[in-house]
């Protein structure tokens, strides 16, 4: 008992005051990219060429956040003269085409479906379905339950059964072998229901695009309400998305 109490005092309170107090991430964190419109066509083409995810449209000067894995290769080789990554972790959107961006995203709260806020604003129960990814997105969803983020204080929980859920959070590029189980889980959630795609795999197939074993985009199977890009999205990106969209 004494040891338990001693540890309790040593640990102290670790919960963040977010969203009342902003959170700042480490300087090397790569969040929302910004494109420099004045960059030369040659530089833009070179960035597009080297991008491992082919996420850059050099002509329209846009970057597809659904494909991007935020590796920062384009920023490095252009030395920031074409793309630079900001530390802004607010990356989520309600419409897939909003992911194609030059560096500004629409205000998520304004694009949220208002009836979701009314229905789920005070209590949101989510069922997570891991469908063929690398477990990275799951890692950074799981940490939302740890003391720093403490998702439950916002009335949002991950629950054990789709029958208890208001929606599903899908990670991974929906492998062929997981497709049916995913669709069954979706069916099992009572309507009205929410579908959230987390990570570049769920949005576009991510690093696995081109493989015949996966689906390139969850939205080709189910109606997606919220897209959270990243590889994996930082827990703050997830938290911001859930709070903005539902609160």
Q: Which residues bind other proteins (CB under 8 A)?
A: 3-4, 6-8, 10-11, 14, 25-26, 28-30, 50, 52-53, 69-73, 76-77, 128-143, 145-148, 158, 160-162, 172-173, 175-181, 185, 201, 206-208, 210-214, 231-232, 234
CB-based contacts of 53, cutoff 8 Å, min separation 6? 67, 68, 69, 71, 200, 206, 207, 209
Residue 112 or 154 having the CB closest to other proteins: 154
Residue 83 or 178 having the CB closest to other proteins: 178
User: Cis omega before residue 192 (within 30°)?
Assistant: yes
- Residue 111 CB, nearest distance to other proteins (Å)? 26
- Residue 72 CB, nearest distance to other proteins (Å)? 6
Residue 164 or 247 having the CB closest to other proteins: 164
Instruction: Give the single-character DSSP code of 221.
Output: T
| Distance from C-alpha of 37 to C-alpha of 110, rounded to nearest angstrom | 27
Cα–chain center distance at 90:
9
**Mode of pairing for the β-strands spanning 56-57 and 100-101:** unpaired
CA distances from 242 to 36, 55, 61, 69, 109 (A): 30, 25, 29, 21, 10
Residue 112 or 186 having the CB closest to other proteins: 186
- Residue 14 CB, nearest distance to other proteins (Å)? 5
Nearest to 67 by CA among 168, 223, 173: 173
- Residue 187 CB, nearest distance to other proteins (Å)? 12
Residue 219 neighbours by CB distance under 10 Å: 18
Residue 109 or 148 having the CB closest to other proteins: 148
- Residue 177 CB, nearest distance to other proteins (Å)? 4
């Amino acid at each position: 008992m004494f040891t338990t109490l001693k540890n309790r005092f040593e640990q102290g309170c670790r919960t963040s005051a977010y969203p009342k107090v902003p959170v700042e991430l480490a300087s090397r964190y790569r969040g929302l990219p910004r494109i420099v419109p004045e960059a030369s066509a040659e530089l833009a083409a070179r960035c597009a060429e080297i991008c491992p995810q082919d996420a850059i449209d050099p002509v329209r000067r846009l970057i597809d956040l659904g494909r991007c894995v935020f590796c920062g290769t384009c920023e490095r080789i252009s030395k920031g003269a074409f793309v630079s990554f900001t530390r802004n972790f607010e990356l989520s959107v309600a419409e897939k085409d909003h992911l194609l961006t030059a560096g500004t995203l629409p205000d998520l709260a304004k694009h949220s479906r208002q009836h979701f806020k009314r229905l789920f604003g005070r209590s949101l129960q989510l069922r997570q379905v891991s469908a063929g990814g690398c477990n990275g997105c799951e890692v950074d969803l799981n940490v939302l339950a740890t003391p720093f983020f403490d998702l439950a204080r916002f009335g949002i929980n991950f629950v054990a059964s789709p029958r208890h859920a208001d929606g599903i959070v899908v990670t991974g590029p929906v492998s062929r072998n997981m497709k049916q189980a995913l669709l069954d889980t979706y069916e099992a959630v009572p309507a009205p229901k929410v579908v959230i795609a987390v990570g570049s795999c769920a949005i576009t197939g991510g690093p696995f695009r081109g493989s015949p074993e996966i689906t390139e985009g969850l939205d080709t199977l189910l109606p997606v309400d919220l897209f959270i890009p990243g590889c994996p999205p930082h827990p703050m990106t997830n938290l911001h998305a859930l709070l903005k969209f539902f609160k």
